[in-house]
Amino acid sequence: MLRFTSMKTTVFLMASGSVLGNSLYALGGLIRSKWSILIARSIIGLCAAQGIPPLFISQAVRIEERSQTMFKYQSSIVGGYVMGPLLAWALEYFMKEIRYENLILDSDTLPGWFMALVYFFLLLKVFVLFEDPPPPASSRGQQGISSLPLRAFLTCLWIICAATICNSLLEVYLAKVAEEDWQWNLRYTSLYVASVSACLTSLCLIAGRLTQLVQDRKGLMILAPVGIVFSFLLMDFGLGVAGRALF
């Protein structure tokens, strides 16, 4: 799409699709069709546009500052994992307190309406404030795809993929353990996931500072073993009974 339109137009269209997808998702209780939920989730996923921010950074930020900027970008993603559970807890608490339930608006559909409103405000923000990055240098465009360091590019893709998988598994795994092993409700589970994600946000910011002190390659070599060590902490060591006793 970026070949035919500007980045601003692409972001605007993606945000419009997200408004449509979240609205359709919120109407799931009224439509009562699994296909409507599937279509809504597909539209939301297709309009996520996760590759646009790194592309914008690569064109608008100097190469000496890109690593730190990318870690800040990652911290904003993790910050979303903080805000998501908190908002889920707050919205459910609000609906339970006002005791308002119908087919269009209840504790299950309110997150969809809320996200549709958030993306609508993003539409306005993109229209008023967003500016396209400067075009790439002509010399860089003449070099073509052959100048792309393939091994380094695939390494970066793997890092982005692994980080996204870890963030997603963290949210799903912690929620499963909290609800099934610790017998927590949605409110306490949301607060716990938000607390853990908040710790990850600070780690991303620290990692961004680390890349300024050492080269990017050395920074990745230092941070990868740290991720491996913390991944082992997610393994089941047969402490389920102890966990239930503590919590």
Rounded to 5 degrees, what are φ and ψ at 168? -70, -45
pTM of full prediction above 0.85: no
The structure tokens listed for 98 are 């006002």
**% of the chain with per-residue pLDDT over 90:** 8
- pLDDT tens digits along 52-67: 888 888 888 887 777 7
Residue environment code for 139-166, b if the CB has 16+ CB neighbours within 10 A, otherwise e: eeeeeeeeeeeeeeeeeeeebeeeeeeb
Residue-wise pLDDT tens digits, 190-231 = 777 777 777 777 776 676 666 666 666 666 677 777 777 777
pLDDT score of 18: 92
Average pLDDT, the chain: 76
First to last CA, the chain: 50
Report the C-alpha dihedral over residues 139, 140, 143, 148, rounded to 10 degrees: 160
Query: Hey, what amino acid is at 45?
Result: G
